[in-house]
Structure 1
Amino acid sequence: MKRLLVLVRHGQSADNEQDLFSGLRDPDLTARGVAEAHAAGQALRGLGLRFDRAFTSGLRRAQRTLGIILDEIGQPDLATVRDAALNERDYGELAGLNKTQARARFGTEQVRIWRKSYHETPPGGESLADTAARVWPFYEREIAPVVAAGGRALLVGHGNALRSMLMRLDGVDPTSIEEVNIGTAQFLIYAMAEDGGGLSRVEIAPTA
């Protein structure tokens, strides 16, 4: 398969480790996150995948994960686009709080709604819909043309930014997206049909 899109969430960050709302904060990877990134890269190498262009956010947890993956697949110098349009959702006043602190301050149900719903916005932050409003246009403008032209694109990003993409790619509705979670360093592979139709999620067997 030539026309592929691979989405990867960054490895565990220091904020993930402490169960903090991160958003636009810029923590580095933990030792576990580094190991997860290496494992993802090794898995992609085992699938025999190489790429024509890479994309990531303006935040170092995603950029570092991408760098590790590119080293693992033998493409450390791959042309890469880094853009704030792919940043994680802005959590506003929740950023830097751990989940327990946030629930104590705002209430358990309110925090659940802010975390999972599509339209609800935490104070001073973005809803998932707001995130989608910057991520999806970037995808259509910068990433989709690479795949449509016969290439392979690799995107290393953030949980909510990727969830917003899955709503279009997988046809997930605003209610069902509440139950969708992407684990740290988990990757998803999409292939474009030979007739140039839309992307569909696929499973590819390792070449080794």
Structure 2
Amino acid sequence: MALAACQLTTGVHTTVAHLGANATSTKCCWSLMFKRDGFDELLARTDWPLRISVNRMFKCCSAVCDPGTLSEVELARSYEPFRTNESTLIIVRHGESMWNEKNLFTGCVDVPLTKKGVEEAIEAGKRISTMPLDIVYTSALVRSQMTAMLTLTQHCCQKVPIIVHNENEEAELWSQIYSDDTKNQSIPVVKAWQLNERMYGDLQGLNKQETAEVFGKEQVLRWRRTYEVRPPNGESLEMCLKRAVTYFKDNIEPQLMAGKHVMVVAHANSLRSIIMYLDNLSPQEVINLELSTGVPMLYVYKDGKFIRRGSPAGTKEAGVYAYTSNLALYKDQMLQRTLTKL
């Protein structure tokens, strides 16, 4: 299984010994390949994994295939997020919750995942297991936090997700980590109520089908899918958007601007709001946007713009490993050809 992970990471089916023995030659071939095809200027700023030095990648893969070769600290250090003018944003709606399963209006009621939701979170983790991550943002609700933690258990960096407690000075002081090595093996997880699901007011806890039978399908549809209409004593999508997007602009976007790689795990409506901002959608377009539970979506942040890459289908998809599908396929084909000749 570990060898398969290495093969998926490199895009080449060969042995680890073969990879290690040819690290220097391969690195030279990569440089020549990019220079010959006019990509030499791209090489300095092309992000993960094309920018990984081959020696470092082989070190990481060898450690995965033989955990005894490196200590936990050394293994954590062999995985380092990469700093370029591009950064990644991964968006995940939480896995199925117990009230999703019962078809109830959930809103800001704090309910956990179902068994299916747990499986969806783990599958999401597998899809993004070899993508760089520096920091994770979740809502203040447990279904979002469960999803984030389960997703991170699948990540190849083997770092420990640690929830940041900054509610007050005492909480921040009591949760301090005093080991630099431990910090290097951790991924901070920041909770924010602004990323919570839309508050559905008097509808929370009601069955959606029964509510439609009482108030009529059209009225319930207006409450759920109209941009400006509020459910009784609840939030409209417009109100949810204001808090979620404001938080994104003030806290998450600066991380991306600094070259950090970010994952946001939240809810259907708070993520709809953020996607409306990222994709410049109209109110009509956003109310028709469907987000499946536990399915990651990938964006690239570059030159102040967000480029939507869609949802990685799995770790074998070439597009997961680069910022354009053509460049990813080109890299895979050329690396295969180079190692075949060695």
Return the TM-score normalized by structure 2: 0.58
The structure 1 segments of at least 4 consecutive aligned residues displaced by more than 3 Å after TM superposition are none
Matched, 1:23 2:132: no
| CA distance in 1 between partners of 2:301 and 2:217 (Å) | 41
Q: Deviations over 1:173-202 (max 9, x none)?
A: 111222111000111111012xx2211101
Offset, 1:76: 2.6
Aligned to 2:144: 62
Q: Secondary structure at the match of 2:283?
A: coil
| CA distance in 2 between partners of 1:120 and 1:75 (Å) | 43
Offset, 1:134: 0.5
Alignment of 1:97-136 (within 5 A): 97-136=206-245
Aligned to 2:286: 177
Matched, 1:53 2:135: yes
Q: 1:200 aligns with which of 307, 319, 327?
A: 307
More displaced stretch, 169-178 vs 125-134: 169-178
Aligned to 2:275: 166
Offset, 1:206: 4.1
| CA distance in 1 between partners of 2:197 and 2:261 (Å) | 23
| CA distance in 1 between partners of 2:252 and 2:203 (Å) | 30
| CA distance in 2 between partners of 1:115 and 1:15 (Å) | 16
Please tell me whether Structure 1 or Structure 2 has the larger radius of gyration of its CA atoms.
Answer: 2
Which structure has more RCO (C-alpha within 8 Å, separation ≥ 6)? 1
- The code of the aligned residue for 1:173 comes to S
Q: Please, which runs of 5 or more residues in structure 2 have no aligned partner?
A: 1-46, 48-85, 162-186, 313-318, 322-331, 333-342
| CA distance in 1 between partners of 2:137 and 2:306 (Å) | 17
Q: 1:49 to 1:100 in 2, by over 3 A?
A: same
Q: Secondary structure at the match of 1:72?
A: coil
Identity %: 36
- C-alpha RMSD of the superposition: 1.4
Aligned to 2:40: none
Matched residue pairs, number? Answer: 204
Aligned to 2:247: 138
Q: Secondary structure at the match of 1:175?
A: helix
- The code of the aligned residue for 2:281 comes to V
Structure richer in helix, relative to its length: 2
| CA distance in 1 between partners of 2:219 and 2:232 (Å) | 11
Q: Please, which runs of 5 or more residues in structure 1 have no aligned partner?
A: none
- The code of the aligned residue for 2:245 comes to W
Aligned to 1:91: 200
Offset, 1:21: 0.7
